[in-house]
Amino acid sequence: MAEAQTQERLTLKAQKDALRDGRIMGLECGACGERHFTPVVRCSKGHDALRVKEYAKEGRVVSYTIQVVAPEAFLNEVPFAWVVVDLDGGGPRVSGWVPFIAKPDELAIGQRVKFTPSYKPGMVFEKV
């Protein structure tokens, strides 16, 4: 007997509203478990059994670059570190930024960080 497949939708607006409330929402495939932060209609294996999932707020920095010249939305924030974070509990990886980082010795690969809701653009993370 085939399992009933359901697909839930996550709009960019709903995701953005959740971020303002401090929740990181995405989609998880009910067939293979693949997780996505960016809304998709199918996972990379072609399954469409996607469910809305709330992800962990903490994770580890897996890569970063220090920004000293920034796009307009970040003009008042430089310098900062643009980071890729592997969220706890199986991901996914998301990108965001850590304020007040000016030199490479101020942030390490593997640093624990926590998502912090903010009125500022993007996803702000703080060291924990």
Return residues touching Zn ion (CB under 5 A). 29, 31-32, 34, 43, 45, 47
Q: What is the closest distance, in whole angstroms, from the C-beta atom of residue 43 to Zn ion in the complex?
A: 3
Nearer to Zn ion, 30 or 96 (CB): 30
Nearer to Zn ion, 44 or 63 (CB): 44
Nearer to Zn ion, 14 or 32 (CB): 32
Residue type present at position 104 = P
Q: In what side-by-side order are the strands of the sheet with 50-55?
A: 35-36, 24-29, 50-55
Q: What is the closest distance, in whole angstroms, from the C-beta atom of residue 100 to Zn ion in the complex?
A: 39
Tell me the two tokens of residue 50: 């996607």
Q: What is the closest distance, in whole angstroms, from the C-beta atom of residue 44 to Zn ion in the complex?
A: 7
Is the CB of residue 24 less than 8 Å from the CB of residue 33?
no
Nearer to Zn ion, 34 or 83 (CB): 34
d(CA 127, CA 31): 34
Tell me the two tokens of residue 25: 């929402």
Q: What is the closest distance, in whole angstroms, from the C-beta atom of residue 36 to Zn ion in the complex?
A: 10
| DSSP tag of 90 | T
